[in-house]
Structure 1
Amino acid sequence: MPVALYAGSDRSSATAAGRVTRHSFSFGADYDPANLGFGPLVCHNDDRLEPGAGYPEHPHTDLEIVTWVLEGALVHTDTTGSRHVLGAGRAQVLSAGAGIRHSEVADPASGRCRFVQAWLVPTTPGGEPSYVLGEAPPPASGLVEVAGGSGLPVATSGARLLVARLAAGRSVTLPDDPRQHVFAATGRATVDDLELGAGDAARVSDEPGRPVRALEDTELLVWSFAAP
């Protein structure tokens, strides 16, 4: 289907101490061979953490890991020597390269934390690990590139994360790329006549330039891919 709805209520989830994670794709024990990814996007997780909870140090290899914080703040540390507190409305990109270890926990001083994290397959494996933290994007009525394109560098050719905060009744137009993964983090919106509630996603294939309209105040995350 050119535009397909993936309801948030259908996503698998995992719980741990102080943590609930909802998966958009096959992940861990919840293996689904029909839902392994979308283009280079192989993970799109929605995490909710209690203060101080999260992920202790663990390894990654050959992944571009892009994080967008929706609420609270996330403390990131890694073996490149980076330690940063990522507040709501900011993005970070961790390039795992040939291998890196990192940890991410909710900043206790900022209360509960919610963040969305995407993993992409890099265009070229290996290389030096790196980390970069973005600034909060300026207020805008349309989609703003926060990773890829004019945003933070991502080592996956043609991949971009765009974010829009739309007031009820406002609209944006999806990019002219072959594929988009459209996620309603909050609120309610339509992609053409397909309605997305909070936590729902639409996957758009070979239908560039589709309109998205907010039915109520909505925070929209769009992964757009220049190649199928």
Structure 2
Amino acid sequence: MIYLRKANERGHANHGWLDSWHTFSFANYYDPNFMGFSALRVINDDVIEAGQGFGTHPHKDMEILTYVLEGTVEHQDSMGNKEQVPAGEFQIMSAGTGIRHSEYNPSSTERLHLYQIWIMPEENGITPRYEQRRFDAVQGKQLVLSPDARDGSLKVHQDMELYRWALLKDEQSVHQIAAERRVWIQVVKGNVTINGVKASTSDGLAIWDEQAISIHADSDSEVLLFDLPPLNDIFEACLFAGFLARSGRVLMYASGVLPRR
């Protein structure tokens, strides 16, 4: 099954300095039908104006991934890291027992465009850490996150993998899905057809009970593919972002606490 989360149906908040689109419930945007998917808790599509950013704030027990699309992020944290993350690079933090950090756009003229993604860890209370890396493959499917940091990928404390997948127009490829795994695809740019479902820039697709994904690039395209664990294996207290068929429309449901920065 495939559920298409259209870009213009996401939550939206424009604060002047920050224009943010929320795939799942976040801050003042709350929809009980969109609380997350498997281990994914947040996918925010943020544009930050020149010289602006997120001041120092705390996090705990969350894997926080940033993918910079345009501009540069200036990062500083309580672990002593002070780094710049340019377009094309990924940054991950394990908040674990607790961190404080800030993320700014250091440019005086250019906007910053990024995805911020929160992933629930397999266990709480881990030691905080920070990594960043550039993945130079222009085309094809490249592993970005994995639990064992294999093939030069960044480590994530969860039974999941993230691939950056870039395709040229009219290219077609297949990704096999292991039994009971969930997949989320976020279209970074372009137009694609996935198992017959058309999706465009900033759309998301939740995929379950499928054996494979066949992707066709209707234009030069880039997607992020999250290969995720079965829900019941990671959430004992509640079913976090399951699916119901209700009135002919597939809906997501969950119970959980609304996170705030």
Q: Does 1:180 align with 2:183?
A: yes
Deviation at 1:145, TM superposition (A): 0.9
Q: Give distance in 2, aligned partners of 1:52 and 1:175.
A: 43
- Structure 1: distance between partners of 2:54 and 2:26: 16
Q: How far off is 1:227 after superposition?
A: 3.2
Structure-1 residue corresponding to 2:145: 147
CA contact 2:39–2:229 (8 Å) conserved in 1: no
Describe the SS at the equivalent of 1:34: coil
Other-structure match for 2:258: none
TM-score w.r.t. length of structure 2? 0.82
Q: Could you tell me how far 1:109 is from its partner in structure 2?
A: 6.1
Q: Matched residue of 2:170: which SS?
A: coil
8 Å contact from structure 1 (residues 59, 99) kept in 2: yes
- Report whether the alignment pairs 1:119 with 2:118: yes
User: Of the candidates 196, 201, 222, which is equivalent to residue 199 of structure 2?
Assistant: 196
Paired residue type of 2:123? T
Maintained 8 Å contact 1:175/1:224: no
Q: If you compute each CA radius of gyration, which structure gives the higher value, 1 or 2? A: 2
What TM-score, normalized to structure 1? Answer: 0.93
Please list every run of 5 or more consecutive structure 1 residues that lacks an aligned counterpart in the other structure.
Answer: none
Compared CA separation, residues 174 and 110, structure 1 to 2 (3 A): farther
Q: Point out where structure 2 has 5 or more consecutive residues left out of the alignment.
A: 232-261
* CA distance in structure 2 between the partners assigned to 1:209 and 1:109 by the alignment: 45
Q: How far off its partner does 1:101 sit?
A: 0.7
Amino acid at match of 2:196: D
Report the count of equivalent residues. 225
1:172 is displaced (CA, Å) by 2.9
Identity, in percent, stands at: 30
Greater CA drift, 60-69 or 206-215: 206-215
Q: Does the Cα contact within 8 Å between 1:73 and 1:110 map onto a contact in 2?
A: no
**Cα separation, 1, equivalents of 2:171 and 2:101:** 38
The answer for the alignment partner of 2:17 in structure 1 is 18
Alignment of 1:1-228 (within 5 A): 2-108=1-107, 111-140=110-139, 142-148=140-146, 150=150, 151-156=153-158, 158-177=159-178, 178-228=181-231
Tell me which stretches of 4 or more aligned residues in structure 1 moved more than 6 Å.
none
CA drift at 1:121:
0.9
SS at match of 2:26: coil
Distance apart, 1:29 and its partner CA = 1.7
Retained in 2: the 8 A contact 1:179–1:208? no
Distance 1:192 1:204, change over 3 A: same
Structure 1 residue 175, shift from structure 2 partner: 4.2
Verify the 8 A CA contact 1:12 1:23 in the aligned structure 2.
yes
